Amino acid sequence: MTQTIAPRVRMLVLLFLAVTGALLAGAGPASAHAALTGSDPTQGVVVDKAPTQVTLTFSETVSLNDDSLRVLDPKGTRVDNGKPAGTSGTSYAVQLHSGLPNGTYTVTYQVVSADSHPVAGAYTFSIGSPSKTSVSVSDQGAGGGVVGWLYGFGRYMSYAGFIVLVGGAAFVLACWQRGSGVRAVQRLVVSGWVAMTAATLFLLLLRGSYTSSGKVGDVFDLDLLGQVLQTKTGAAMVSRLLLLAAAALFIAVLFGAYDKREAEEKRDLTFGLAIGGTVVAAGLAASWAMAEHASTGLQPGIAMPVDVLHLLAVATWLGGLTALLVALYRAPADLPVEGSAVRRFSQVAFGSVLTVVATGVYQSWRQLGSWSAFTDTRYGQLLLIKIGLVALLVGIAWISRRWTAQLADTTSKATAATSAPEDSTLESAPEAVSETASEATSETVSKATSETVSKTASEAAPEKERVTAGAAAATGTSDAGTAASGDTESGSNAADSGSGSGGKSSGGKSSGGKSSGGKSSGGKSSGGKNRAAQLARQQAAVDATRQKRLRDSDPGRFGLRRSVLAEAGVAVVLLAVTTVLTSTEPGRTEQDAAKANKSS
């Protein structure tokens, strides 16, 4: 199965890139949460007398700077004093120069809504009579272009990192504590932390250009970065980075000291890690809730905690699902994820789904306001897609629950059936390895002695007796092979008998041959030990392969893998839709703005 996971992961990555690219490409700069609901002078009006100021009214409070509201004459020259200010509630005005001539004037606005999204637009009015104008009102860069797409991608990665980080850690603590020692699970949680940290820094750099010019060259403008740090969104990102530092300490304890503790010590440490992890996770979720659309509009005091619960439930569900997928595919053969851990996650996921549905219903009512907004607004249409994906995900999860029940039964039966054979096999493995190594060593020493004796006999005997000496050497070799391995006395006797009447000279040669045989025997003995170690490693690999084959032959586990992989694929698309949904103008705001434009 390890050979098939790589193509499946690539498939999920390609699916993520395709869906995210399509959705973010469709999310233009109009995807904001504040809308222009009124203006004075109104759009397209022709006034007889030059006004002293221009007033704009938005659906919610916005942030301004000196260039947020501009009024341009027909030649494109700025005719306001450059100091916009709030007048009352959500209305903002900028003073105009006195004595303005007749002609068509252009009002441009580029502000940031209270929920952190840029809002840009323009309209015209005329004094006396309309005239030609050289001002282009279509070139509004805030929230669009390459920077806007990169900002949307960064938002997706920050959400994905949060889900994997929080959900993976929750899966280990609440469902599978043995998973703290599994490398694949450790890498998953750490990758979530890295993705969220990198995405937050990335968004912090992009923020200035995203809310102003929209130019890539302004990404590294330190002046813009300083302005961002003074905003609510900038402060939220800095707070998120500080909380991520605390999360790094949490990860170090979870995959360090926690994994090395005994079972009784783990129980106490689990409680402390659960409390600390919940506080950090809630703080990370609050960095979104307190800076984005939950902080504005209807009932912000209720909406922000509800949004925190929604984010935590989504992370526990989808992040835990990702951790389960990794555990099913990448856990070692000797440490598979147990059926009890899968059942615990099934219970946790069920509670998370209930929380997601309850909080999602409240958020939908708050952002839509009417049933017609489901079909008449972009927000409602995206919300319908999200609801459909959630329903599909819940349906696949129901299939996974059925496989989970079968996994428990099959695992218990397989354990009872295979425990005895596996134990006997593992017990006999060392003996088999030892016997094989002994045979290899004996054969090696026998060959070495044969070669040494043959060489000695050949050198000591006369030319005419070489055939006889060779035969005697062969006989000596046979004797040496049947004696104890490495016995030098046998080797010496065999050499003497092979040399015939060679006398002292023959004895000298034999002695030399004996010494060479001893060295060869020592080298071959060392080689035999290496061979034994190699055979032991091979046997361990065979045992691991057998355990993995037995584990993967479980039909319940195989079916669960497939269904969880399908859930992960749907979750990738669901997260992309949610990311675009959070940057889209709510249906309630869009309908209010449409009514205001009709009345004007």
- Mean pLDDT of all residues belonging to the chain: 76
Select from 485, 484, 488, 509 the least CA-distant residue to 498: 509
CA distances in angstroms from 424 to 344, 418, 419, listed in the order given: 33, 10, 9
Q: How confident is the model at residue 495, as a pLDDT? A: 36
Q: How confident is the model at residue 436 (pLDDT cuts 50, 70, 90)?
A: very low
E strand map for 416-562: none
CATH fit for domain 37-127, picks 2.60.40.1220, 1.10.357.10, 3.30.1330.20, 2.40.160.20 = 2.60.40.1220
Q: What's the confidence (pLDDT) of residue 114? A: 80
Q: What is the mean pLDDT of residues 398-405?
A: 84
Residues 484-509 have pLDDT tens digits of 344 434 333 433 434 443 334 444 44
Which pLDDT does position 595 carry in this prediction? Answer: 75
Q: Answer for the pair 565, 400: CB distance below 8 angstroms, yes or no.
A: no
Structure tokens at 19: 């869906």
Rounded distance, CA 408 to CA 555, Å?
A: 11
- Cα–Cα distance for residue pair 180/171, rounded to 1 Å: 10
Helix axes 378-460, 503-552, angle to 10 degrees: 160
Q: List the structure tokens of 244.
A: 């991520």
User: How confident is the model over 346-365, as pLDDT tens digits?
Assistant: 999 999 999 999 999 999 99
| 142 — pLDDT class (breaks 50, 70, 90) | low
Q: Which residues of 533-545 are buried (b: 16+ CB within 10 A; e: fewer)?
A: eebbeebeeebee
Tokens describing residue 281: 């996770």
Sign of the C-alpha dihedral computed for residues 274, 280, 285 and 289 taken in this order = positive
Q: What is the pLDDT of residue 407?
A: 67
What's the mean pLDDT in 437-448? Answer: 42
Which of 169-183, 309-323, 469-483 is predicted least confidently? Answer: 469-483
CA gap 348, 115 in Å, rounded: 31
Task: In whole angstroms, give the CA distance from residue 258 to residue 266.
Answer: 6
Does pLDDT of 539 surpass 50? Answer: yes
Summarised one tens digit per residue, pLDDT across range 181-208 is 899 999 999 999 999 999 999 999 999 9
Strand pairing category for 103-113 and 118-127: antiparallel
Domain boundaries, the chain: 1-13+369-413+429-595, 37-127, 142-344
